[in-house]
């Protein structure tokens, strides 16, 4: 018995030895003599040929509108999301939530907003939409999660139609496994990676957030619903979020308009340096001939508070001087009808949060000071340091 067991083990070891499990180590070579190709992008910082990327957002954050805008950008070569398009090509949109009519409305609205002939998309965009679509890339069996026949078919279709970008929205409808199972989720992403690598196609997965409990998720890689394997397996991932109350105050956006602004942040980018700022968009309506009004995203240049303070300091000081000479000086007290921050907002267009910072700065530096302009009535106001206080003072 012992001899037979040893014989079986030796047979197995012999068989393993005959399998090429590991090749010889490959020398690096002289890097100074190697011509290293430039890293490829479809849309810079967002979509990479041969890789899977993702965008995560809660309901109402315009993630589908962003994905469709990127689709049109890839077809036309125009930087509709303020990210340069390095390569144009065909796009396959698989929307597993909205019907085809809704997709038509949104794509047409994007074209109209950006003065693009809708006919441009006719033979370059492939669209499959509807909740009844079957696009699961894995199947859960008694032996675990295995690839669906859809993977092979997807590769064939992408090659046949020369697809450069595949958009799957929402990601949750592209599998039937538990979102909280890291192994299962990793298997799902691996199938998308297989498709991307086999075709050289960029794949964008649109994913919902988990329960937020009021927290701000801008740039939060863990915001996606379910297991962390989703983000961990992606090469690049972004979050798209509605403007927060704090951002609205900083940027001078009224609360009533806040929800029409969204920001796009990198939450993971293995191939890029850390992000220094967000990309901002404003949601505006486009009227279609059928009477529908459809929301689209337009690039919005958010004011940079620090730069604005430096650039507008002279304007504010001149306003302080002007108001003092007119006998109606600005005030540093927030409860005053002459509050300087209100004047900066209304006269100079400086957002309130930036105005508060600027007011504090010019007073602290001594450039502007608080003084009596009417001692008899004990009224104070702001004056430029060095100015004549006047006869009443």
How would residue 240 be classed by pLDDT, with cut points 50, 70 and 90?
very high
pTM for this model (two decimals):
0.75
pLDDT in tens, 217-238: 676 666 665 557 677 778 888 9
Of 26-40, 194-208, 266-280, 377-391, the range with the lowest mean pLDDT is 266-280
Domains and CATH numbers, the chain: 52-299 (3.40.50.300), 305-384 (1.10.10)
CB 141 within 8 A of CB 104: no
| Average pLDDT score over residue span 160-164 | 98
Q: Among candidates 362, 356, 363, which has minimal Cα distance to 342? A: 356
Whole-angstrom Cα distance, residue 251 to residue 280? 11
Q: Is 305 a residue whose pLDDT tops 70?
A: no
Which pLDDT score, from 0 to 100, does residue 3 have?
A: 46
Give the chain's count of helices (H) and strands (E): 10, 13
Which pLDDT score, from 0 to 100, does residue 210 have?
A: 64
pLDDT in tens, 318-340: 999 999 988 899 999 998 999 99
Q: Is 160 a residue whose pLDDT tops 70?
A: yes
> Partners of 286 in the beta sheet?
294
List C-alpha distances in Å: 380 to 36, 313, 335, 338, 347: 68, 21, 13, 10, 21
How would residue 350 be classed by pLDDT, with cut points 50, 70 and 90?
confident
Nearest-5° angle of CA 103, CA 137, CA 199? 80
Q: Among candidates 205, 270, 194, which has minimal Cα distance to 232? A: 270
Q: Is 2 a residue whose pLDDT tops 50?
A: no
pLDDT in tens, 88-104: 999 999 999 999 999 99
Q: Among candidates 173, 179, 193, which has minimal Cα distance to 133? A: 173
Q: Is 355 a residue whose pLDDT tops 80?
A: yes
- Residue, of 336 and 70, whose pLDDT is higher: 70
Whole-angstrom Cα distance, residue 155 to residue 173? 19
3-class SS string, 294-350: EEEEEECCCCCHHHHHHHHHHHHHHHHHHHHHCCCCCECCCCCCCEHHHHHHHHHCC
Q: Among candidates 183, 181, 231, 180, which has minimal Cα distance to 205? A: 231
């Amino acid at each position: 018995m012992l001899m037979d067991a040893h014989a079986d083990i030796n047979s197995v070891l012999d068989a393993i030895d005959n399998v090429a499990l590991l090749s010889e180590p490959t020398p690096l070579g002289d890097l100074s003599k190697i011509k290293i190709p430039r890293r490829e992008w479809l849309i810079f910082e967002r979509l990479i040929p041969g890789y899977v990327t993702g965008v995560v957002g809660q309901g109402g954050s315009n993630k589908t509108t962003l994905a469709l805008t990127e689709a049109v950008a890839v077809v036309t070569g125009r930087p509709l999301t303020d990210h340069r398009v390095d390569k144009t090509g065909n796009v396959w949109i698989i929307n597993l939530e909205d019907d085809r009519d809704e997709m038509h409305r949104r794509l047409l609205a994007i074209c109209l907003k950006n003065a693009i002939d809708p006919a441009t998309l006719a033979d370059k965009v492939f669209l499959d939409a509807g909740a009844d679509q079957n696009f699961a890339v894995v199947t859960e069996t008694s032996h675990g999660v295995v690839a669906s026949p859809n993977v092979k078919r997807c590769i064939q279709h992408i090659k046949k139609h020369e697809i450069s970008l595949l958009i799957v929205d929402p990601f949750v409808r592209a599998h039937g496994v538990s979102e909280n199972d890291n192994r299962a989720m990793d298997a799902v992403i691996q199938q998308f990676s297989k498709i991307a690598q086999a075709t050289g196609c960029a794949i964008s997965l649109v994913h919902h957030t988990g329960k937020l409990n009021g927290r701000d998720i801008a740039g939060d890689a863990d915001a996606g619903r379910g297991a962390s394997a989703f983000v961990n397996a992606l090469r690049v991932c972004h979050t798209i979020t509605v403007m927060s109350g704090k951002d609205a105050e900083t940027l001078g956006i009224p609360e009533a308009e806040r929800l029409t602004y969204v920001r796009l942040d990198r939450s993971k980018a293995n191939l890029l340096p850390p992000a220094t700022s967000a990309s901002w968009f404003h949601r505006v309506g486009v009227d279609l001939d059928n009477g529908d009004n459809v929301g689209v995203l337009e690039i919005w240049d958010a004011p940079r508070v620090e730069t604005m303070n430096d650039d507008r300091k002279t304007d504010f000081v001149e306003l302080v001087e002007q108001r003092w000479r007119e006998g109606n000086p600005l005030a540093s007290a927030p409860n005053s009808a002459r509050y300087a921050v209100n004047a900066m907002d209304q006269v100079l267009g400086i957002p309130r949060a930036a105005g508060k910072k600027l007011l504090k700065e010019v007073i602290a530096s001594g450039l502007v000071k608080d003084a009596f302009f009417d001692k008899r009535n004990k009224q104070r106001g702001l004056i430029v340091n060095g100015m004549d206080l006047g006869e009443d003072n």
